[in-house]
Structure 1
Amino acid sequence: MVIKNLENKIKLVGIVCVAVIVGCVVISLSSIWTARGMVADAQQKIYVLDGNVPILVQRTSMEETLDVEARSHVEMFHHYFFTLAPDDKYIQYTMEKAMYLVDETGLAQYNTLKEKGFYNNIMGTSAVFSIFCDSIKFDKEKMEFTYYGRQRIERRTSILMRELVTAGQLKRVPRTDNNPHGLLIVNWRTLLNKDIEQRAKNNY
């Protein structure tokens, strides 16, 4: 009888020990899982100081913001490439900025215009070129875009408006100070560039 009771107590102790070990393992694993989730969640949150006030902002992946960044990249390139003033240093500055955002197809267009004396003509006629973006069509899956805009050319005696349509693809590259979106325009080409309105300036 005593031996039987002893066997039962040993079994009970064994069951209790196994239950305690299993419980510890379950608690440890759940703690690790919870901690990893909290760390991952914390890494998605960034605090920005506005003076002395911390403001919580949400971190997002490039996939979530690709559409916005692609349109911004395309618009930025066209702004640099088509905004021109009768100042050779300013033209050189904007072209250098633009060339960081496009491949050799952009450089080829720049060299063609330069060889034709386009930039010298701007300085000779004191023309001011500005660009207005109407819309940008972007296909996220094919990484293709079409840019629709209008260019305003102001000369001493007239103002000319031109319709501009260009197209190309985008490819991912590392982000840098000169290319903050981490995108590069490739196979860039002009589809349409025609006069739509010209009027004389009122000189007072």
Structure 2
Amino acid sequence: MPKGKNKRRVRLAEAQNWRCAYCSGEMHEDGARLDGATIEHLVPLVHGGSRDRENLVAACLACNNARSGFFSARIFFRIRRWQLRKGRWPCCTFPDKKVRKLMRRIFAEAEAAREAKLRDRLDVVLSTAAAPQPGALRGSPRSKGSDETSGSAAGEGFPPPPEASIANTNFPVEDGAGASRQTVNVG
């Protein structure tokens, strides 16, 4: 029985009945061949993926190299199966020039959509961030009769927090599952 990384690769391949996760081609134990079993990370390590069992599948060397560091395994799987049905990219082979060009275009569109989604999320987070209160910033004008703490490490240059009042405040009440279902008005 192989040791270390090879043992994991063989176990993954055996769990998949020695079939590639993307093209379903029959794989061999020799990882240096095009149809050799390799360890494929669903979320690539360069994109923050882990080496956990849930993130690993066995793929033939050709599919593993064709996908390389592309982020979405799901999109690659769909492209691979589509090309198999059309007969354009046989199992356990490298894609030809036409298929590589098509994949680059689809990958670029998918990455652009992913980046746009991330930008939209960032815009939402930035737009909902609380704006600083006037007078709460260091160096802002203060009245002479204020109770501000001066020199303390926790509140140096900042006004004291407003007095908390629980009157007319809604508190979420959680059910047994931890989800807030209702609110209770105290006051």
TM-score range, shorter chain: under 0.3
**More strand, by proportion:** 1
With the length of structure 2 as denominator, give the TM-score of the two structures: 0.25
Larger Rg: 1
With the length of structure 1 as denominator, give the TM-score of the two structures: 0.23
If asked which structure has higher relative contact order (CA below 8 Å, sep 6+), I would say: 1
**More helix, by proportion:** 1
